[in-house]
């Protein structure tokens, strides 16, 4: 690993629900050209190995051999401290979008200590809003009026930027960020306690949780900070339970005194 470049060993390409095996193969080849080797495929519509290998050619046979298969996107990125979604479409929840070279620069520091995923959506509809909520940041490849690139070509653009990004800055290493798994555990306990203390509406907890997710995502929480937040939630739970039990005891004592 050279300090002024992206640490490619920590970067994986994730193809979410790809429909065409040829695109998986062509993505593997693009990765191999740019020195990336870790390819994860989530719930492919068709994984026909001969068609994957035909496009990967002998060049990327090893990338195909090592493909990691997952049933869900959450599992494919669970150990990642930084998840980058790619999108052809903008607007709505897709607000804070950066260009590929800007993202690649950012990854130089992040990839020193953290597992990074670059996530690509299915050919027909791209990533859903739900899937985008798993991402810390979004990248859009600028295009002319027609914005949707072929999946494997979009992979190539990102791999090229990751390969060529350079910095002369010293020491720009970022701390270990909380993994997706740690963050999701925190969100689950946070949601539970916020419903119980009636801060959020149990009928529609996702509305508020999505806002909180966006807020925490902007802060790029470190692993240690997630432990602090989880510790606070546990303490609030303990305090609420204790007060409740003390109240019951007090009630019983008063009732006994009155007899």
140 in contact with ligand SAH (CB under 6 A)? yes
Q: Which of 24, 56, 83, 87 binds ligand SAH (CB under 6 A)?
A: 87
CB of 45 to ligand SAH, least distance (A): 13
Rounded Cα distance between 211 and 186, Å, is 15
143 in contact with ligand SAH (CB under 6 A)? yes
Q: Which of 72, 130, 147, 243 binds ligand SAH (CB under 6 A)?
A: 147
Q: Which of 38, 64, 86, 131 binds ligand SAH (CB under 6 A)?
A: 86
The first and second tokens of residue 50, run together, are 């001969």
Burial class (CB in 10 A: 0-12, 13-18, 19+), 48: middle
The residue number whose beta carbon is nearest to ligand SAH equals: 126
120 in contact with ligand SAH (CB under 6 A)? yes
In the sheet that 137-139 helps form, which strands lie side by side, from edge to edge? Answer: 68-70, 38-42, 11-16, 116-120, 82-86, 137-139, 97-98
125 in contact with ligand SAH (CB under 6 A)? yes
Rounded Cα distance between 223 and 85, Å, is 21
Which residue's CB is nearer to ligand SAH, number 17 or number 191?
17
89 in contact with ligand SAH (CB under 6 A)? yes
Burial class (CB in 10 A: 0-12, 13-18, 19+), 88: middle
Which residues of this protein are in contact with ligand SAH, per CB under 6 A? 86-89, 120-121, 123, 125-127, 139-141, 143, 147-149, 151, 154
């Amino acid at each position: 690993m050279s300090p002024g470049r992206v640490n490619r060993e920590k970067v994986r390409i994730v193809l979410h629900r790809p429909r065409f095996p040829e695109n998986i193969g062509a993505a593997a080849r693009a990765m191999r050209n740019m020195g990336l080797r870790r390819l994860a495929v989530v719930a492919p519509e068709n994984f026909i190995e001969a068609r994957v290998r035909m496009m990967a050619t002998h060049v990327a046979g090893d990338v195909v051999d090592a493909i990691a298969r997952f049933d869900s996107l959450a599992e494919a990125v669970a150990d990642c401290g930084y998840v980058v979604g790619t999108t052809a479409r903008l607007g709505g929840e897709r607000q804070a979008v950066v260009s590929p070279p800007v993202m690649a620069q950012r990854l130089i520091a992040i990839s020193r200590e953290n597992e990074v995923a670059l996530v690509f959506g299915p050919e027909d509809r791209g990533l859903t809003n739900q899937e985008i909520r798993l991402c810390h940041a979004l990248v859009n490849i600028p295009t002319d009026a027609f914005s949707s690139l072929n999946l494997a070509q979009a992979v190539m653009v990102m791999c090229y930027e990751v390969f060529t990004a350079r910095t002369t800055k010293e020491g720009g290493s970022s701390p270990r960020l909380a993994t997706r798994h740690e963050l999701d555990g925190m969100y689950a306990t946070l949601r539970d306690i916020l419903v119980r203390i009636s801060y959020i509406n149990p009928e529609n907890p996702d509305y508020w949780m999505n806002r909180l997710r966006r807020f925490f995502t902007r802060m790029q929480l470190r692993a240690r900070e997630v432990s602090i937040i989880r510790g606070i939630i546990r303490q609030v739970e303990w305090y609420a339970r204790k007060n409740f039990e003390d109240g019951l005891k007090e009630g019983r004592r008063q009732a006994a005194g009155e007899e």
